[in-house]
Amino acid sequence: MTFQELIKQGIPNELPPQKEYDKTINHAPKRKEILSKDEKKLALKNALRYFDPKHHTVLLPEFKEELETYGRIYMYRFRPDYKMYARPIEEYPGNSQQAKSIMLMIQNNLDYAVAQHPHELITYGGNGAVFQNWAQYLLTMKYLSEMTDQQTLVMYSGHPMGLFPSHENAPRVVVTNGMMIPNYSKPDDWEKFNAMGVTQYGQMTAGSYMYIGPQGIVHGTTITVLNGCRKIDDKGTQGKLFVTAGLGGMSGAQPKAGNIAGVVSVTAEVNSAATYKRHEQGWVDEVISDLDELVARVKKAKENKEVVSIAYDGNIVDVWEKFDAENVYIDLGSDQTSLHNPWAGGYYPVGLSFEEANQMMAENPGKFKDHVQESLRRQAAAINKHTAKGTYFFDYGNAFLLEASRAGADVMADNGIDFKYPSYVQDIMGPMCFDYGFGPFRWVCTSGKPEDLQKTDEIACEVLEEMMKNSPKEIQQQMADNIQWIKGAQQNKLVVGSQARILYADAEGRIKIAEAFNNAVKAGIIGPVVLGRDHHDVSGTDSPYRETSNIYDGSKFTADMAIHNVIGDSFRGATWVSIHNGGGVGWGEVINGGFGMLLDGTDEAEKRLKSMLFWDVNNGIARRSWARNEEAVFAIKRAMESEPLLKVTLPFSVDEKLM
């Protein structure tokens, strides 16, 4: 069968042969045993309902073995034989160009070069899934190949509920992931209900089909490192040392961002497969596995003011402690391990090998948790020694300080309420970017042609340079940083998987860039373009320890903004919308929403982009201004001047002396 025929087939009528477990692929760790006997039966019944009863006698023992061996039912037998990658849009079967663009994005999320655990349908973060199993993938792709622009596909945490009649201006797909009743959003609830096959952790851009590889966070990390250096002094970045952890998934962006920012960076990673994958991809310059060698290399790099990224093949706790003992001065410090998922592979404790840790987390989760918490206490203690010497440490919104505090580490401020170290959003991204409306705008060239991506880079740069001529002084630095970024995008070789780009831009910039893209598609200069963004943005996400950590009016634990965002995007022209529980900082800790939009060169696409992008950004600025964030008040007043139909409630300030 051809690729198109296989897509249209969906779940095959006859069973394909069983597949051997491919040990060359980076697999998800075994999930802990959490289901009762009756719940295991329910999980098996839930899995078998995708298949004709004539196959149940064959599949039942097979799925039972998967559940017992891996803690989940992935249905490996049904993994497609064709190569998984984002094909040019015209290669997908279907009746809707919008549906084809979604198929392209789904396959990009599962591309072996992009996905962290591709055979388990996990894109990044250790548990950020596109689907729960391969039957869901096959059925979803079949539905998308049949869909017309008069239908909407409804996705329940990876499960395609079905095609429903709608209309051409409605989203083609509506996605929810992990939307639990609040009292059922504890970490073990995810373990249980995911094992039963009724929900999943979509992360941010995994379950919303908008992941573009580690590039997705490079720009934000670059901005963070640049401005972190500016907070230290005005002497530039060269010779400054940035120490962090994590090279899997989105955290793999850190060494590349360090190079772009012009620092010496050391990123520790315990999974050698992830370390060498990033090295082979050119995302990290050097790999060192000996601590003494690492110390010598870093001292030399600092002395010579080199711009170099070094991966330490080992545990980050050892690095913090060794650098303290050897008096290696760290200018900037952070951590980007997946501590939203601390008990199932997101963080590996010091003192255990990678293999020992994987075995313990599955066979003795209580003991593994003790090791993780002891490791966090040691890491925090070492960090405190460095900050006493002058290191600027910030939490990278990965729940490091949250989990360290729960482990009893010394990370709390004197008031016993706040952390002693700021979130990078509190100190940098919030006041300097999000409050002004700057966030991670994305686009994907559906032709798959590198030359199309280069043309879009040039178009975006021209738009920004023209805008900067009349930009207010308050956002001149942001504009300059973004122009510098897009000019260096090609030479930094950021593409992994689809021909995609990320660029921090405000509402005006996003609209003007998107309009220019749509005109280029109309003129035949480039093929259709998919717009999107990271959920880690101005208004898509309510996350009290990250995206909304610089909200100080007491509302940072509310999630109205994220819900309004996805509702508003859906009727203003998005091609697909998504709303998730748990992305970025952990299950039960955040609600986040995203969108995708196809620019096909039509007048209708131009209307949609103007309506939706204006709302998508200014919804968040309005909320931030109501929280009395001065930068957001400035930005929303400017937005109201540009759009007479926008009328936002503004706050009055209160004299502190009166209080």
Amino acid making up residue 556? K
Dihedrals phi, psi of 507, to nearest 5 degrees: -60, -45
Q: How far apart are CA 181 and CA 189, in angstroms?
A: 11
At residue 439, the 3 state secondary structure works out as strand
Query: Does 125 appear as a known binding residue?
Result: yes
Q: How far apart are CA 391 and CA 476, in angstroms?
A: 28
Secondary structure E strands in 347-436: 392-393
At residue 586, the 3 state secondary structure works out as coil
Contacts of 401 (CB under 8 A, 6+ apart): 395, 411, 419, 421, 423, 545
User: Checking DSSP bridges between strand 151-156 and strand 159-165, what pairing results, if any?
Assistant: antiparallel
Query: Does 203 appear as a known binding residue?
Result: yes
Amino acid making up residue 658? L
Chain centre distance of CA 66: 28
Other C-beta atoms closer than 10 Å to the C-beta of 185 total 17
Residue 340's Cβ-side half-sphere holds a number of Cα atoms within 13 Å equal to: 30
72 DSSP assignment: S
b/e 9-34 (16+ beta carbons within 10 angstroms → b): ebbeeeeeeeeeeeeeebbbbbbbeb
334 DSSP assignment: -
27 DSSP assignment: P
Most distant pair of Cα atoms in the chain: their distance = 77
**Residue carrying structure tokens 């990044």:** 124
Q: How far apart are CA 366 and CA 567, in angstroms?
A: 41
Query: Does 4 appear as a known binding residue?
Result: no
Q: How far apart are CA 455 and CA 31, in angstroms?
A: 45
Amino acid making up residue 487? K
356 DSSP assignment: H
Residue 309: its H or E element = strand 308-313
Short-list 289, 115, 142, CA closest to 213 = 115
**What Å distances lie between residue 540 and 209, 424, 434, 608, CA to CA?**
15, 18, 11, 18
CA–CA–CA angle 601, 602, 603 (5° rounding): 130
Query: Does 126 appear as a known binding residue?
Result: yes
Full DSSP string of 127-196: TEES-SSHHHHHHHHHHHHH--TTEEEEEETTEEEEEEE--TTS-SEEEEES---GGG-SHHHHHHHHHT
Residues 367 and 51 sit within 8 Å (Cβ to Cβ): no
Short-list 126, 96, 91, 95, CA closest to 107 = 91
Give binding residues as ranges: 125-126, 203, 269, 396, 584
- Please report, in range form, the residues annotated as the binding site for NAD(+): 125-126, 203, 269, 396, 584
